[in-house]
Structure 1
């Protein structure tokens, strides 16, 4: 609508990181209304101020609900949608038993289209408005995902997963074909509408040194792109990397040697890091992506959120579907809280909500566009019902502030808590 609209409720935005300073809530701001026009945030403030800003706009009353930036999921595998919650495997067996057989199906564009649409519908229903996804080795899987996101007006990042060893026949490319296919996809999709390409070597064990070198060369040629991969998820994976790369100083070195360490790099999991790796990641300003439901579901370990944040790392939050066991960023925040408790450093509600929005947007280098409510930013919004079930309602009624009111929704909420979702100023 040309005249825009106004949402009234508890409008949450962040002025900084709630991991800085003694009181996490000091980084947050609560206002009464947010105004949206032409797909962007026009402003936030009192209802009277927003009505004066957009005098012809309709007001939608969400009193008692929390209005915030849409959730940003920084590490997903959309091709694993249909195999989410598969039983009982650790990483390498899980890949061989479930992931690789399913990913072979994505050579079929029709199947890729079906799963891409299903995935984006499922995640939008959970309030997620931006994702960064691995596809499969097939260019068709990338075309399908970007086309589905483009039709919805979504800001997403994605890339063709590159693997030339330790994967079944039918899921291997070569160093040259990975380079050529990825470059063609960059030319076709990167920067079109709200789409960004992410160069995507799956992880060191499934790429030869020649392919990693080719991916590093591609990233060097296209530094405007993100680069995503996996790092130090499980101890047996790290041992495997040591066998495959006996000359490497550590796991990160298998990327660093080939030009795959940089400021726009996204390193999924990063649980079992060595000191050198932590220093190098911080020095480059690379992003570590915390995937808590995945880490517990396949038994990977406990991410050191407090320690990594304290040393200045850039950290995003992610479902890692389908290794992760939920499409919901609410469930992901709950798992991050539980992992923090197990490490003796529980996260505040403000920190969890920041990680699922602004933190992930910063990790993806998209924080100037999404992940917060601020004039000029893209209008990706979610409205949270803080009394979506009887159990949540009875707890939130006793709350003495908004953080105590929202925390039961973080811990027990699901898609029923999602009252409205707006993508690019358009209601989903």
Structure 2
């Protein structure tokens, strides 16, 4: 069947461009409405600690959490507005101008496409730096969370940029080459490369990538380690070690997490977390993280990413020869034939605004996993200790106890504090 026969009548250049503009604006204004609701709700409940926490969280800490949320929200408004403008400028003319700048590389098409990706990434990365800097050295500093020096901030930025370039640009070059050289099933081969890359990153992240940014030390012998090892034995879980990360080098926030894949799994505790929680509370937090493994959440997320990326590649293969994709954004209609990498970039930029409505579904699915992990933790550890640990973390990390319900349903991957604690109490 001819390609044109597959092209919907509604996908003329003007129609598709209009659809993307409408989606961009709808996404922005819906997000702005949600954020305004959230900030108003937090401000309205600033002067009273919710009943489940009134005996454990002082009013001053509750007000600090509200002010922290409001400060981040105001910055978020500016960042969202800038993001809308930047995305529109890049899509509607900016990317085509960057493509023109790479014309001296026309005899090396894959290299030219990689150069376009590098230019795009550099511009968007530079635009994000002021927001990250202000968040770190003004908001986080004001509320007592920032421990990062300016030297560390810039060093992390340089290391992160170089690492991303070293990993992503060769991967992009391989995908661009496959798009050009692997025939009609290039999208399947590119997908296999992407999945292989993701699994490789899961395997090497703990031992090769994470130590570039943080120091990891084995958890010292003692009561805490013994209690954790007893939990792991009860749960029949093996890992490649228990480690403490120097999170306090950058932030006063605390956390714990699993990293790695297969035999490379590690259990990592922020040093700040170990300082704040009792041994039994640490065990309860770890039990929650174990719940994600025991309830197959990690595998389910990997499968979801695999299926979503496969759908993306298949859709990209369909859209690749469609002239409206290119003419909508200032490129010649035959761009896809000679420069398929441009199609990947354009499609990657145009698709998220069209799919923003998926966010609340993903959030709901994630919250379901959190409830399941909490239930598992209550089975193998102490329900009361988990509640106590979560309460301390809410207080110490200045997490608001009173998010707007609609905003939270749309955005939050974890259940709101009151709902989560009530779920644990009902058991």
Structure-2-length-normalised TM-score: 0.26
**Whose relative contact order is higher, 1 or 2, with alpha carbons under 8 Å and at least 6 apart?**
2
Name the larger-Rg structure.
Answer: 2
Normalised to the residue count of structure 1, the TM-score between the two structures is 0.26
